[in-house]
Amino acid sequence: MTQHPHTSPPGIPRDALEQVNDPEWEIAPWTTQRLLRDEPGKWALIDCRRAEELALARVDGAPMFTLADMPAQFPEIQKFAGERRVVVMCHSGRRSLKAAMLLREAGFDGALSMCGGIQRWSEEVDPRVPQY
C-alpha cells in the first residue's frame, strides 16, 4: 500500500489514503464501514459479486448489482443510492474497480471501489463474515 502525502479528495478522510492503492478510486473497508455508520445519508454500499458468491458471504445492507448486468441496473442503483456517494465491493477489489469506473461514466460522481473487497472486510472490519 502506498502512503500519499497529498491532501485527500473531497469527502474522503485523510487517514483513508494510507490504506488504498489509488485514493481517487479506492477506499479502505474500515473507512467504508465508518462512513456508512457515521454518515449514512451520504454513503451507499453496493455489491457487484454474483449471486452464488453472495450466498457464501455478504455485508448486511449492501444490495447486489452484478458487474455483468450493471449498465442495465443503473436505474435501480440510482433509486437505491439517491444522492449518496456509491462505494462498490466485490471479492477482492478488481471487479468493484471496474464497476466504479462504469458508474462514474454513467454519472455516479465519485463512485469508489472498496479496496480488497469482502475478503479484506472480513479481515479488518467483521471477522464473522466468512472468507472464501
pLDDT in tens, 88-120: 999 999 999 999 999 999 999 999 999 999 999
CA angle 110, 39, 23 (to 5 degrees): 35
The answer, yes or no, to whether residue 10 has pLDDT greater than 60, is: no
pTM for the whole thing? 0.84
Q: What range defines the domain where residue 22 resides?
A: 15-124
- The count of structural domains within the chain is 1
CA atoms within 13 A on the CB side of 50: 3
In a domain, 1, yes or no: no
In a domain, 3, yes or no: no
In a domain, 65, yes or no: yes
